[in-house]
Chains A and B, each alone.
Chain A
Amino acid sequence: MEKLKRIWRSLIWAWSPKSNREASESVIRNFWLHWFPSRISLRSMSWGYSLWLGVFAACLFAILALTGLLLLFFYIPSVQSAYWSIKDIENVVVFGSLLRAQHRWAAHLMVAVVFLHMVRVFFTAAYRGQRVWNWYIGIVLFIVTLFLSFSGYLLPWDQLSYWALTIGTAIASSIPLLGRSIRFLLVGGNILGQNSLLRFYALHNFFLPAGLLFLFALHMWRIRKDGGLASMDNLIHETKSKEIPVSPSKTYSLLGVTEGTTIQVATTEVLDESNSAHASPGLVRRIALVFLLTTIITLALALIFPSPLEEPANPAVTPIPAKAPWYFLWLQELIAITTIKIGTFSISGGLIGGILIPAFLILLAAVWPFLDKSPADAVGVWFHRSRRRQNVIFTLICLAVIILIIIGVYLRGPYWNFYWPWQDWPEMPTLF
């Protein structure tokens, strides 16, 4: 055992540290830790600043990848067998229903957590300066997360899957000129079938997660290159007023190739014993804690709430009402109410609510950092005074989305009619 430990140690460490301090100063020598800084500010590590939402999202992705890889062994991506293989996972495979429920809960939570993470970044103005690139990567990560969720709930090939795919690909076909070709390419024909299922299966299991993993790596790398979390900027800003002695042991240029002080050097200048801690074990321990917490939450939810499964896909019968999962219901609400008709000329709500409005929101998120003219000391602070007006506008946009989701979840009944929660839905004929 001791020998195995030594072999493992010499594999992942170029040199064996004698103390925590030594270890933390040599994080770059360790494969697992090389993406951490050696010291991290207490502010960046506090629960209150970042709420640890990014780490939470990453942990959820790790759980999704693990449970997903296991589900791969039991799921059959064929129109005939998909539904019944899910039934087997639910009822035959030992712990299969738990596996599926944990995968499903982690997916739901990931959409919510990634969204909240973006909200946090907005309220702390953490998208300013060169961090705008990480904001952009974050936007793409959010979109990839949504596509992963969408492609994921298509796979059981039940009524939810079939009609979500019908509506999703119909939205694509409402794009002018190219729409029909895009739908044909996504569906792999004119009618949903084996080609469609296999296409979204390949996207869900390889292309989207691989893309997400790549962007995640880029996201992490950029955090380091941008000098840590935005709260660091604030710390530097505060300490700049004081005289900081220049450390003789720091490299101020990269082997003389570059000039001036890099952000990393500026960072290490302000960090001292009073305002920072060693990344190892401080940061490592907290990440482990968040991972454990995420596992517990998803497992608990999976144990309490099993995953639903509707009837097998039936092209002849649309469920009444056919509702998307909550995170798409604001879009479903929009596509149901945004059709414009002027005389005989009309634009489908599929194009306006399904494509143009989301595209506009993405564009707005992309240009916002350049419209934000707040002073530099607003970066890395929650609800800075100078940003009050834009925080209100942003909150209103988020609230509008949330209200649309609430209407979609609780107040829409058969034929997308409006019903109060205390009103009974009318009896609907069943065609099964």
Chain B
Amino acid sequence: MGKLSILIALLAEAVGAIKAFIPSVLYEPPSKFKVGKPDDFPEGITFLSGRRLYIFRTGNDFRAVSAICTHLYCVVDWRPDQNEFYCSCHGSRFSQEGINISGPAPKPLPWYQLSLAPDGSLNVDSKEAVKQDYKFSI
């Protein structure tokens, strides 16, 4: 009994210690955020470096795709000459639709849901992945 209770006490302490390492509050940017007024975006592709996000605009259609490579989280570059995303770390390539076409990336780049905030800004929800053909029209 004595040994068992010591073991239980030590185990409880260990769990407590591990618990301390799981942050209770995250001082991180929110997963849903405004990226600016739709008219701020020119026709074509805009890179939002702070958000690691590409915004596509075709006429009044908007789309948002993550710039984080699905292999090991490096930032992918848009290469207008190739019409592809290139990852600089391990050479993954993605089509304009975000589909992984070569290199080690195991999955396509995720597309995010867009909405219009009451003040007229474009809202991106990076927790809400959507299909590749998703378009947000104004």
User: Residues of A with Cβ closer than 8 Å to B?
Assistant: 163, 166-167, 169-171, 174, 184-185, 188-191, 193-195, 199, 315-322, 332, 335-339, 341, 346-350, 414-417, 429, 431
Interface size grouping (class) on chain B: 20 to 34
Known: A316-B52, A322-B74, A350-B72. Is A167-B22 also a contact (CB below 8 A)? Answer: no
Which chain A residue has the least Cβ–Cβ distance from B51?
A316
B132 to chain A, nearest CB (A): 13
A185 touches which one: B22, B93, B104, B106 (CB < 8 A)? B22
B88 touches which one: A194, A332, A414 (CB < 8 A)? A414
Q: Is B50 an interface residue (CB 8 A)?
A: yes
- Residue of B18, B50, B74 with highest tally of chain A CB at under 10 A: B74
Some 29 contacts from A to B, beta carbons below 8 A apart, are A166-B72, A167-B72, A170-B71, A170-B73, A188-B21, A188-B23, A189-B23, A191-B28, A191-B29, A194-B27, A195-B23, A317-B49, A317-B75, A318-B87, A321-B88, A322-B74, A335-B71, A335-B90, A336-B90, A348-B71, A348-B72, A348-B104, A349-B90, A349-B106, A415-B91, A415-B93, A416-B89, A416-B90, A431-B49
Which chain A residue has the least Cβ–Cβ distance from B31?
A190
Q: How far is the CA of A308 from the CA of B80 in the complex (A)?
A: 33
Q: How far is the CA of A315 from the CA of B47 in the complex (A)?
A: 13
Q: How far is the CA of A361 from the CA of B70 in the complex (A)?
A: 26
Chain B residues with CB under 8 Å of A166's CB are 72-74
Q: How far is the CA of A418 from the CA of B128 in the complex (A)?
A: 37
B128 to chain A, nearest CB (A): 16
Known: A184-B22, A316-B50. Is A415-B71 also a contact (CB below 8 A)? Answer: no
Chain A residues with CB under 8 Å of B23's CB are 188-189, 195
Q: Which B40-96 residues have a C-beta within 8 angstroms of A?
A: 49-50, 52, 70-75, 77, 86-91, 93
